[in-house]
Amino acid sequence: MMKISQIIKELDLELISGEKGLDNETNGVYSGDLLSVVMASAKEKQIWLTVQTHINIVAIASLIDISAILIVEGMEVEEDTIEKSNELGIPIIRTNKTTYEISIELYKLGIN
Amino acid sequence: MKELSLHILDIIQNSISGKATNIEIDIVENPKDNIFQISIKDNGIGIKKSILKDVLNPFVTTRNTRNVGLGLSLFKSTAERSNGKLILKSKENIGTEVYVEMEYDNIDRPPLGSIEDTLIAIMSGEGDRINIKYRHNVSGKVFAFDAAKIKNIIQDVDIESPEVIMWLRGYIKENIRNLYLI
């Protein structure tokens, strides 16, 4: 188990919102952009990698108990998504790297 | 595409390459009946009957034999992913209509996104030549916009001029935002 705050530090990620959830712990990663598939397959406590940024991602993360949403490829995040993530304390973090590149780094960090 | 407004932009670009001068965009959001409809109608050259079926197939033909790209195929898959459909109607020399219907609350339905940017992108480049009619209905509340009327009001001022475009963007954005206020 590793804290989201530690992962942000180690991988130099950008925290966008949901600061209240920085102490969330994670032990795995899920990646996907089709929300219905994510909803069926992602597991609680995972970090979710996606290019989707609209408010539904926070709803799904909350439903499944995702530890943090990691937006890849530097996608712009909508204002209402940010507000909801702050409200629910689900961190949204961001990288300019692709899903594949950041997955490798997460793996090297010991999250698998 | 992440937003429906980008699909719409793509379809309008087809209309423009199809020499349309009037483009009507009609959006209906009806959460009560769980329906989200988009219709884009133009008076362009239309699509030949012989290739009408092919334009929805992403693998058939290239730009040499048709002047539309992948836009229609992508929009169709977005619609179907949201448990909806895309219907394409076209008559040569009369025009084309792209009609899309989706489930409003389907989790895979992309958000509408920044439709004002789509409209402005078109009007700042082709506003002189093309008249956009836009109608947006959210649970019965309607915002309607007709570029031809704006042109009448501003008379000699170019609709593509930065001042007009800036004003239009704010005007459209504000009115669309009001549609969602209860």
In chain A, the domains with their CATH numbers are 2-108 (3.40.1390.20)
Query: Is residue A50 scored above 80 in pLDDT?
Result: yes
- A99-108 helix and A4-11 helix, angle to the nearest 10 degrees: 110
Please report residues of A whose CB lies closer than 8 A to that of B107.
Answer: 35-36, 39, 56, 60
Judge: A52–B81 Cβ closer than 8 Å, yes or no: no
The Cα–Cα gap between B144 and B99 comes to: 18
In chain B, the domains with their CATH numbers are 4-179 (3.30.565)
Judge: B81–A34 Cβ closer than 8 Å, yes or no: yes
Distances (CA, A) of B22 to A104, B69, B133, B145, B169: 51, 21, 8, 13, 20
Nearest to B134 by CA among B124, B126, B144: B144
Residue A35 near chain B (CB below 8 Å): yes
Query: Is residue B67 scored above 70 in pLDDT?
Result: no
The Cα–Cα gap between B9 and A68 comes to: 33
Cβ atoms of residues B110 and A54 within 8 Å: yes
How close A23 comes to chain B (CA, Å)? 29
Three-state secondary structure call for residue B3: coil
Cβ atoms of residues B75 and B86 within 8 Å: yes
- Tens-place pLDDT, residues B111-154: 999 999 999 999 999 988 999 999 999 999 999 999 999 888 88
Instruction: Determine the straight-line distance between the first and last CA of chain B, rounded to whole angstroms.
Output: 29
Q: Which amino acid is at B86?
A: L
- Tens-place pLDDT, residues B88-121: 999 999 999 999 999 999 999 999 999 999 999 9
Q: Which amino acid is at A72?
A: V
Question: What ipTM, to 2 d.p.?
Answer: 0.76
The Cα–Cα gap between A28 and B90 comes to: 50
